[in-house]
Amino acid sequence: MEIGKDLVLLGHSAFLLKHEGKNIYIDPFMLKGSLPKADLILITHAHYDHCSPADIDKIIRDGTKIICSKLCKGLEAYKDVSVMGPFESRSELGLKIETTRAYNTKKERLQFHPKSNDWLGYVIEADSRKIYHAGDTDFIPEMRQLEGLYVALLPMGDTYTMEVDEMIEAARAIDSEHVAPIHYRLLLGDRAEEAERKLKSSLKNAIILKDAVP
């Protein structure tokens, strides 16, 4: 599994993971172009830019499985939907999928992603490499328990999640082989490149992913 080849950013927090001929999407949102149909869709939480039925409709087919956190509205119409809570695990399509928490700790953000909602980050193991998609979160204690990660995908858009300095602190604690920012270009706008420069100057393992347009 290689970043940029088998794991591609589709914009915002949306990813496509290609594994053994299967297509796994995480938080599909604002999808563009001609994309392969999904075998599995993972949803971190209920906000519209992560749980988007309009985007799910672009990639769903007969047999697509959806895994989501609780409180995700609009998914009732789909056939194969299952809810996971924090610190659960299961196997799908030859992947090991583990969940962790995603929530805000900063006082000014507590209303956006309350810990009590049991919203998710995912650790996905493919070809002995672990991908951590953090969902929408602040730097939380649970991150210190993560080990052996190939890549950590961490939000740094400020307002609703970590800003760049907090994201750098989280990345250092996680100590993954690679770290890539997500959930920031739409939110930071003209400030996005400045945040990228700061991230790369602070972390040797930082990579900046371009949005893939099929």
CATH code at position 153: 3.60.15.10
Say what the pLDDT of residue 108 is.
95
Map residue 140 onto helix, strand or coil: coil
Q: How many domains does the chain have?
A: 1
12 found inside a domain: yes
Say what the pLDDT of residue 212 is.
81
194 found inside a domain: yes
98 found inside a domain: yes
State the residue range of the domain holding 35.
7-202
Within 10 angstroms of residue 5's Cβ, the number of other Cβ atoms is: 8
Contacts 24+ apart (CB under 8 A), 209-214: 209/3, 209/4, 209/8, 209/9, 209/180, 209/182, 210/9, 211/9, 211/10, 211/11, 211/185, 212/8, 212/9, 212/10, 212/16, 213/32, 213/33, 214/32, 214/33, 214/34, 214/35
Say what the pLDDT of residue 213 is.
65
55 found inside a domain: yes
214 found inside a domain: no
Q: Tokens 């895994």 identify what position?
A: 67
Render pLDDT for 25-73 as a digit per residue (tens, 0 to 9).
999 999 999 999 999 999 999 999 999 999 999 999 999 999 999 999 8
40 found inside a domain: yes
Tens digit of pLDDT at every position of the chain (214 positions): 889 999 999 999 999 999 999 999 999 999 999 999 999 999 999 999 999 999 999 999 999 999 999 999 899 889 999 999 999 999 999 999 999 999 999 999 999 999 999 999 999 999 999 999 999 999 999 999 999 999 999 999 999 999 999 999 999 999 999 999 999 999 999 999 999 999 999 999 999 999 886 5
Say what the pLDDT of residue 211 is.
87
